[in-house]
Structures are given as C-alpha cells and as structure tokens.
Structure 1
Amino acid sequence: MPPMIKSLLKIVIVLAVIVIGFNYHWMIGAALVVVIVGYFVYTNRSSLYAQRGNLAYMKGDRDQALILMEKAYRSKSIQPKHQIGYGYLLMKIGELSKAENMFEEVLHQTTARDMLMQARLNLATVHWLQNKQDEAYSSLQEIAQDVKNTLVYGNFGYFQILRGELEAALAYNLEAYAYNDSDLTIMDNLAQNYYMLGRLDEADEMYTKVIAKTPKHAESYYYYALTLQKLGRTQEAREQIEKALEKELALITPLTREDIELLANDLGRDDAGQDQV
C-alpha cells in the first residue's frame, strides 16, 4: 500500500473512532481526543523538538537550538534530515567527533539517496576540519563522479579551489554554472576561481552577480575587495571589505579574521597615500 494511502487510511480510522466515541457520550469522545493527541505528540516528539530547534537556530539562538536538537536525537525516533541538521550544528561549534558519529549513523540507518548523499557531503566536511583533507577530497570526488546536482557541484567545486587545483576547478565550476547559473555557491566558486587565476575582469563580472544576492559569509566580500583593489578601484574595494568585516567566516575557509582586518587596513593606507599625493 502506498505511504500516502496508508496515512489517509489511518486518519480516516482515527476520525471514525472519535465520532463513534462522541456518539456514545461526549466525555468518551473528549477522552479519545486527549488520548490520540497525546499519542501523536509522544510519537512525533523528535520532529517537534527538531522543528523548534531549527526555529531557534534561525533566530540566532544556537545554544537553545543545540539543546532542542539533542532532545530530538535522544528521543530515538529522529528523522535522518533532522539528525543531519544536528550534525551540522555540532560542526559549527567544533564538536567534530560527535558530528562525525551523527553522519555515520545516518549512513547506516537510511536508504534514502538524498539523505545518504547529504550525510556523505557533511562527513567529508568533518574530515576536512579534522585535517583529513585527502580523505575528504577523495570522498567528494567519488560523489561528484556519480551525482550531478547543485549541492554536489557547489561542494566539490569549492574543495577543488581549496586544494589549489585551479584549472581543473575552473572546468568543473564552469560546468556547474552551466547546470545552475543562479545558485549562490556555484556563482561564488566561479568568481573566486577567476580571481585565483588572475582573470580579474571575469571575477569582477561574476562577483557583481554574487554580491547582488547578499551572501552571508565574509569570503565573498573579501575576494571581491581584492579583485577591485587589483583593478585599481580602491573606493569600491573599501566598501566591500567593510561588509566583510561585518560577516562571519564560512565553516571551511582559508581565511582568518586577521586577513580581513589586514586588507581593510591596507585599503585605508592606500587611500590615505593617494590623498597625500
């Protein structure tokens, strides 16, 4: 029986039981409603905790999100997508071993292709953060050979740049851009790739599209500032580095906060020198 039909049948049965209960006596019907609602809440408590955790994270309350996601996990009925979300939060706070366990569990407990791929991608990220960069890269490369979608293109294209394989990365990122020319990660990868290769006009053109989407991480603004600086557009570069100073760094990045501050200072000094001439 298809899952949707099965779910509808359950709803029909529940409603029929409630109606029969009310036909006998309103108190019996009310009691059945309380019992059924309580059972629903109990059996779905993991999803309810996870949804509250996601909402807390979206509001910027990371601590509360972690507490709720831990409760969702300990309820033992957590869905793979929620477990992956919890693992991502754990990565964000540096709990790499625990995050690794989360993703490994998903790989062993689900057969859904999208969840398996997401777990593998996140596991590669964990391995990179654990300084197992060869293992992480090989894993992503294997996925990229089998799967062509926006998420994989974005992840592997970035890892190629991090590895310094810039020509190979460019070919892959151009392929990714042809696949989806509106995805922010793919666009950002291509822009950074152009910058790294010294193709500044192309980097400028692509970063214009990237910045129009208001990326949330500092790297986009930093590398665009560098691009503009090398093109001699110092004031525009200063505007971008100011934005970079306001943003957080990505989970995996070659940059430090000091790199951004140094460029901001350099752009300031360059401007001061020009004013004196």
Structure 2
Amino acid sequence: MGFMTNLKGNKAYAAHTRGKLDEARKLYDEAYQEGLNSPKILHGYSVLLLRSEEYEKALEVLRRMEKAPGLTPELRTQMLTNYAIVCWKRGNTDRAVEVLRELHRKKKNGAIYGTLGFLLIEQGNAEEALRYNEEAFDYDDEDPVFLDNLGQVYYRLLNDKEKARPYFEKALKLKPGAIDTNYFLALYDEEAGDREAAVKKLRTAQEGKFSPLNYARPEMIRSKLAELGADA
C-alpha cells in the first residue's frame, strides 16, 4: 500500500469518525481501489457499508481485512462480528450465531453479548435467547442494549408485554435516543391511547442512527406514524 493510499485511507477514517459519511465513503472507495490493506481502516469501511446495507461489498472488504498484515486479535474479533452480521443479513442466521458463539467462548465482551443476544432473538429460539440475554444482563445490568434485548425476548418471543416493559423503560432512561427502545415503548403508548406520546417516541426513533442490528427499520417507523395519522 503506497503512501498516498495510506493517507487517503486515514482521511476516510477521520471523516467517518466525524460523521462526514459522504466524504468518508468517497475516500474509502478510492483507497480501496488503490489497494488499501490497513485492517483498522478496512474495518471502518466495512462498518460504513453495513450501515448502508451493502452486504456483498462489506463481505468483500472483510475478506481483504482477514488477509491484511497487522490484523490484531481485537480487530479480528471485530471483523468476525461484522462477518456474522453479513451472514445474518444474507439469510444465514445459523452461521452468524455459530461464529459469534465461537467468539464468545474465547472472550466475553459487551459487543458480542449485544450482537449475539439480538441474533438469538432473530433466530427465534425463545428459551436460548432468554438464557443468553439473562447472562448478558448479569454481565452488566445497566447496558441499554442488553436491557432492550431482554425486553425484545419477552415482547417478541414470549408474548409477555408486561414483563418486557420494565426492561424497555430502564433502557430508555440510560439511552433516551435508542431506536428500538423508543419504537417498542411507542407501541405501549399506542395501546394505551396516548397518540401524542407514541408519535413523540417514534419521531425520536426516526432521528436515530440506524444500524443493521436495529429491529425497527425506517420503513416500519414511517408506517406506524402513518397509522397514527402523523406525517412520516
């Protein structure tokens, strides 16, 4: 990798961290075409691609990252976590869960607990999803992602809205802008007939920074706002 490619990659990464996503994407694309092979910068590029739902391109970038010199154990874990997300989005949830379980066996951390916890919900095994997300909760009972995941287990898989609600409410206090948490709590407001509160939470969710690991997608929020007679 030449000096100018390295410089361009670093500029892309810096723009990405500042939230200048269009600039970052342009520079990432150019640096990648020029042979970018920095694992750190390739990871940043893969994250941007995942957020824009370009899963095939993300997979290509992750494969280059896997072969890149200087791939640290930490970056390898992040690479495999992103690979698992790509597997899930391409319809292979079982493979995604398998990859994350192997990572979890080697080292427990919050990112793996949160990602695997959510994918177990997506896989649909209520008993296993509950067991694992309770383990995550024991690991850190004030992590808003773990709380939201537990709420989703009860709401989506066990159909126990009453038991789900306290987890969502605690998650919202810790992270007021959380997309999924606001979405689910808006459903409670809707059931209670509090349209104004529901719309407010949906607006908050709509303004969030969406990731592949959000259950509530932009189109779901727009649809719910339309149902409530609010402009999407």
Q: Answer whether contact 2:183 2:216 (CA < 8 A) is retained.
A: no
Please name the residue that 1:121 is paired with: 81
Change in 2 beyond 3 A, CA 1:206/1:234: farther
Change in 2 beyond 3 A, CA 1:45/1:181: farther
1:267 shift after superposition: 4.5
1:81 shift after superposition: 1.8
1:181-200 CA distances to partner (integer Å, 9 max, x unpaired)?
A: 33332222122223223333
Please name the residue that 1:64 is paired with: 23
Q: Which residue among 250, 258, 264 is the counterpart of 2:211?
A: 250
Instruction: Write the letter of the residue equivalent to 2:67.
Output: H
Query: For 2:96 and 2:159, how far apart are their aligned partners in 1?
Result: 27
1:71-128 CA distances to partner (integer Å, 9 max, x unpaired)?
A: 4445656431221111111223343233212212222335522111111110111122
Q: Answer whether contact 2:177 2:205 (CA < 8 A) is retained.
A: no
Please name the residue that 1:52 is paired with: 11
Please name the residue that 1:200 is paired with: 161
1:152 shift after superposition: 0.7
Matches within 5 A, 1:216-227: 218-227=179-188
How large is the RMSD of aligned CA atoms in angstroms?
3.0
Please name the residue that 1:106 is paired with: 65
Change in 2 beyond 3 A, CA 1:154/1:44: farther
Q: Answer whether contact 2:37 2:65 (CA < 8 A) is retained.
A: no
TM-score (norm 2): 0.80
Change in 2 beyond 3 A, CA 1:111/1:49: closer
What percent identity do the matched residue pairs reach?
28
Q: Answer whether contact 1:46 1:78 (CA < 8 A) is retained.
A: no
1:150-181 CA distances to partner (integer Å, 9 max, x unpaired)?
A: 11101100001111222211211111111123
Query: For 1:139 and 1:105, how far apart are their aligned partners in 2?
Result: 18
Q: Answer whether contact 1:184 1:213 (CA < 8 A) is retained.
A: yes
User: Higher relative CO (CA 8 A, sep ≥ 6), structure 1 or 2?
Assistant: 2
TM-score (norm 1): 0.69
Matches within 5 A, 1:257-276: 257-267=218-228
Change in 2 beyond 3 A, CA 1:234/1:171: farther
1:4-61 CA distances to partner (integer Å, 9 max, x unpaired)?
A: xxxxxxxxxxxxxxxxxxxxxxxxxxxxxxxxxxxxxx97655643443233234443
Matches within 5 A, 1:65-104: 65-73=24-32, 76=35, 78-104=37-63
1:213-246 CA distances to partner (integer Å, 9 max, x unpaired)?
A: 4465532211121234446665543432232233
Moved more, 249-258 or 101-110: 249-258
Please name the residue that 2:133 is paired with: 173
* Poorly superposed stretches of 4+, deviation over 6 Å: none
- Greater Rg, structure 1 or structure 2? 1
The structure carrying a bigger helix percent of its residues is 1
Instruction: Write the letter of the residue equivalent to 1:80.
Output: P
Identify unmatched segments of 5+ residues in structure 2.
none
Query: For 1:193 and 1:234, how far apart are their aligned partners in 2?
Result: 25
Identify unmatched segments of 5+ residues in structure 1.
1-41, 270-277
Change in 2 beyond 3 A, CA 1:167/1:146: same
Number of residue equivalences: 228
